[in-house]
Amino acid sequence: MANVVVVGSQWGDEGKGKIVDWLSSRADVVARFQGGHNAGHTLVVDGTTYKLSLLPSGIVRGGKLSVIGNGVVLNPWAFLDEMARIKSQGVKITSDNLKIAENAALILPVHSELDGIRENREDGVKIGTTKRGIGPAYEDKVARRAIRVCDLADPDHLGDRVKNLLHHHNALRKGLGHPPFDADELTQSLLDIAPKILPFMAPVWQVLDDATKAEQKILFEGAQGTMLDIDHGTYPFVTSSNTIAGQAAAGTGMGPRALNYVLGITKAYTTRVGEGPFPTELDDAVGQRLGERGHEFGTVTGRQRRCGWFDAVMVRQAIVTGGITGIALTKLDVLDGLAELNICVGYKLDGKILKRLPAGATNQANVEPIYETMPGWQGSTRGARSWAQLPAEAVKYVRHIEELIGCPVSMVSTSPEREDVILMRDPFKAI
């Protein structure tokens, strides 16, 4: 048996929710390992749509243990709101089937306020965050002043930790022209919410180690995508955590030996939400068509996604930095009916040809895509569950993508429905 890590290989929004749900039916444990409630996964199960931001996708499946790892930053109020909403849809959530790492850092109101202040600067400069406090919470974690889940169980010292946190934040707020945050008020709000959070607290590293010893299959669920990774993405237009598969080990307390198979979720075209470079972006009727047919709106923010052609250079780079073993190609059906399809196979920059996305922000913004053109198909791929049900041109498109990115396609998703999958290789049986 293999443990499987699921990551996005583009800028997020690749359709991880459906694939994770499909895999979670074969797993015993599903563990989130980074990000916060800025992520958004949409699951369609037996006709019911679930929109998850913080809860692991396995929570909607009975008999699974869901885990929020130490690499996640947790907004306790958003967690309770989401849990109440999912419970109202008939999902059972208790301390028996959901565990939160005791050493996970908390997102507080002061973090989300700071995020909003920064994104609304007078000079117009912004990163394009969801304004949910993810970045500031990670900043405090790295600076060793964060409030963690375990601190909620230590009421005698919680006030001192809050004052230490606000020693930094109130100086920053004053410099930005905002009033100070009240330490006593924040401390009391944490004390009030602590009894609702602490029943879920656990030493997640030990929980997962016990699961491994019991030969249970673990699915590690990532959020966002490789090109939003704080180190390997299109910096500074990135998220505030490592989104690649290596973070699954650090973000749950498991060693790298626990990561057996890395599945890169990859959309059959490319999308991006928010600011930042996008070499293959289409500002034309084709881009609009992709957005409309693909329902390209953010699960969390509702923001319209930018759309463009498949970028094989970027995905190939993500496969290397993310250690991706195989890819799940999603939304193939969105390409139905297009006469021609372009695939980016390189970039031009200052008269030179590049086979990688450069690290510098200026160069990333200035690269020009080099395209290969392939014939499209007029038949439908929607709902296909075998190669025989695909038009010949669609099969050629998938096979050519494999060649260009240097990685096998393990599965193809042909609709939002969970079972509409063409499976070539089951990741849980890959070793």
Beta strands in 33-71 (DSSP E): 41-45, 48-52, 65-68
Structural tokens at position 315: 């995905």
> Is residue 310 a contact partner of residue 9, using CB atoms and an 8 Å limit?
no
Residue-by-residue DSSP string for 87-106: HTTT----TTTEEEETTPEE
How far apart CA 116 and CA 270 sit, in angstroms, is 28
How far apart CA 288 and CA 307 sit, in angstroms, is 8
Amino acid at 419: E
> Is residue 95 a contact partner of residue 60, using CB atoms and an 8 Å limit?
no
How far apart CA 44 and CA 67 sit, in angstroms, is 21
How far apart CA 296 and CA 280 sit, in angstroms, is 16
Query: How long a stretch of residues is the chain?
Result: 431
How far apart CA 403 and CA 267 sit, in angstroms, is 16
> Is residue 309 a contact partner of residue 279, using CB atoms and an 8 Å limit?
no
| DSSP state letter for 304 | B
Task: Report the SS3 class of residue 417.
Answer: coil
Cα–Cα distance list, 219 to 1, 11, 53, 249 (Å): 12, 21, 17, 12
Which residues carry out catalysis? 13, 41
* Residue 236: exposure state from Cβ atoms within 10 A (0-12, 13-18, ≥19): exposed
